Amino acid sequence: MAGRIRGAGLLRLVVAVTVGALLLAALPTQAQSDTRYFTETGHSLRGAFRAFWASNGALDSFGFPITEEYTATSGRLVQWFERARFEYTLVGGASSVELGNLGTELTQGKSFPKASPVTDTADRRYITQTQHSIKYGFKTIWETRGAERIFGYPISEEVKEVLDNGETHTVQYFEKARFEFWPTFAPGQRVLISLLGRKLAPSDRIAPVPPDQQPTPVSTQVPVPSGTNGKVSPESGTPGSSFTFEASGFTPGELVGVWLTAPDQSVTSSPQATANDQGVIAGVSITSDSSFREGIYSFNAQGVQSKREARGFFRISTLGSPGDPQKLSQVLHTQLLRQGQATIVPVAAPPGYPFIFGGAGFQSDEAVSAWLTGPDGKSTVIASDQITQTGSTAQVLIRTLGLPQGVYTAVIQGLTSKVIAAASFKLTRDFVAGPGTSRPANVNGSATPTDVAPGAVVQVRGQGFPVGERLDYWITDPLGAYVLMPSAPLTDGSGRIGSTPAIDLKVPDNSLAGVYGIHFLGRQSGVRVDVYYTVAR
């Protein structure tokens, strides 16, 4: 309909920001708190398994799911993938996803000679744990994609084997995987991770399951226990969240010892608090960081004189946990560097989220170089095979798995013209707004309705700007992505946005559950419009 910005014009406009369909392929972590169905194999992925899959290499490391999740004879919840088997454990309230030892299982009964120790170099590394070495491309893949955590230690040296295609290849076995070398492939793509899951998965579990016949998900998260004379706010959050403990029942004025117990039962002391006239301690808080593993934590308190005790619990989780609604209205993009003809999508997101960085204005026949500078000021060169050039433009996919939070700057430079395109982005969990997040109050506008289901239409309106002012606008989504839109709309003859033309957003069927924010900023006036709506599935 003429004069209307449809959902594809706002919620999906990311796809059109110089990166086209590549952006969709580059967002494997999207909707990780919801089920994703893979038509390629007829199986789904959800919850803790989906989060682990998306955050540790996705298709490149594990392939597609080839079974549903199910309880194995070991008592563990498991799911098979083309290259791996995920196993879910829950110990002391702490959830964990482990990988099955497929390499060890496949080579059961085989004996591989040990290797003599050698001096480590850039091309070779000796692993003392298993007395084997890793070399060249195999070493690069092992070190850059998770090392022993994902693949286990090597259990063989490089050996020659005839693979399923009938050809002889160089392979190496690891506890959880097998690497293959394919010399005829393009540089950077010659090391493959074997499809051991296809070889070892139980055949009766592989049959596709239609989307409308998906089994009921198995719960992989224990509830947060009720406290004893104490409570923690919020009850759940991602690493980086702050948690406040309040407890009662102490003798007025007495000193109260406070400590924190982690999911592994390790204990961290906190400064003593003093009970007020009602025997209450309040304001005891802690801010988590990336060192806080997933699981249930407890604040514990005991009166020094009375020996009375109190306890409150909270959960650390990366799976769409409720966020801090006060952080969702932050304006971030105006604080970040932009030089030359550069774009970055998104502007901010949690660690592990992929970013698309693009630059333009280069000579069409010149080579370019690219690098990434981190919060510590150190720069890392981006390999040339990670750069895509089309005419006078260049584009880089930046993977952030394992990087700490902070501000990063990506740079592309033409080697002949010396033209530079640079853009900063931030790794932060500030904008995570998964299910359970309180929706902030609207500012100078409205989103109608405020609670919607996928497929619904949301009308967005705003007012209070000068007539004809140019606006910045951006979206924040439940996963924590902050996406600045490429074009700048103008306000109408009454200083409004969303009236003429209207902004009617069709909520896509695959939308994340949680809180969405639609934000506008007057470039001259500084007037803000912030409106929010919640998608429930």
- φ, ψ (nearest 5 deg) of residue 386: -95, 0
> So what's the pLDDT on residue 7?
34
> So what's the pLDDT on residue 279?
95
- Whether 224 shows a pLDDT value over 90: the answer reads no
pLDDT category of residue 18 using cuts at 50, 70 and 90: very low
> So what's the pLDDT on residue 229?
93
The CA distance from 461 to 447, in Å, is 7
3-class SS of residue 174: strand
Degrees (nearest 5) of the Cα angle 474, 488, 448? 50
> So what's the pLDDT on residue 145?
85
Name every residue whose Cβ is closer than 8 Å to that of residue 363 and which is 6 or more positions away in sequence.
Answer: 392, 414, 416, 417, 419
Distances (CA, A) of 327 to 197, 293, 315: 42, 22, 19
> So what's the pLDDT on residue 17?
30
User: What is the residue-wise DSSP string for 70-128?
Assistant: EE-TTS-EEEEBSS-EEEEEEETTEEEEEE--HHHHHTTT------------SSEEEET
> So what's the pLDDT on residue 528?
95
- How many Cβ atoms sit within 10 Å of the Cβ of residue 122? 8
3-class SS of residue 53: helix
Name every residue whose Cβ is closer than 8 Å to that of residue 28 and which is 6 or more positions away in sequence.
Answer: 53, 54, 58, 59, 354
> So what's the pLDDT on residue 427?
92
Listed range (7-21, 59-73, 134-148, 266-280) with the worst mean pLDDT: 7-21
The CA distance from 308 to 279, in Å, is 11
- Whether 12 shows a pLDDT value over 50: the answer reads no
Write the pLDDT tens digit of every residue in 190-215.
899 999 999 999 988 999 988 777 66
Top pLDDT among 13 and 285 is at 285
Cα 299–chain centre separation: 27
Taking residues 369-393, report their average pLDDT: 89
Top pLDDT among 300 and 238 is at 300
Average pLDDT, the chain: 83
> So what's the pLDDT on residue 316?
78
Name every residue whose Cβ is closer than 8 Å to that of residue 298 and which is 6 or more positions away in sequence.
Answer: 260, 261, 311, 312, 313, 314
Nearest to 36 by CA among 26, 25, 47: 47
The CA distance from 173 to 128, in Å, is 16
Write the pLDDT tens digit of every residue in 460-493.
999 999 999 999 999 998 888 999 988 778 999 9
> So what's the pLDDT on residue 210?
86
Nearest to 18 by CA among 454, 365, 412: 412
- Whether 510 shows a pLDDT value over 70: the answer reads no
Taking residues 255-272, report their average pLDDT: 85
> So what's the pLDDT on residue 21?
28
Nearest to 332 by CA among 311, 313, 346: 346
Domains, in order of start, for the chain: 4-17+432-535 (2.60.40.1930), 34-220 (no CATH), 230-316 (2.60.40.1930), 331-427 (2.60.40.1930)
Write the pLDDT tens digit of every residue in 393-439.
999 988 886 688 899 999 999 999 999 999 999 999 889 887 778 89
- φ, ψ (nearest 5 deg) of residue 163: -90, -175
> So what's the pLDDT on residue 217?
56
Contact 305, 420 (CB under 8 A): no
> So what's the pLDDT on residue 6?
34
- Whether 29 shows a pLDDT value over 80: the answer reads no
Q: Which amino acid is at 26?
A: A
- Whether 34 shows a pLDDT value over 70: the answer reads no
Residue percentage of the chain with pLDDT more than 70: 86
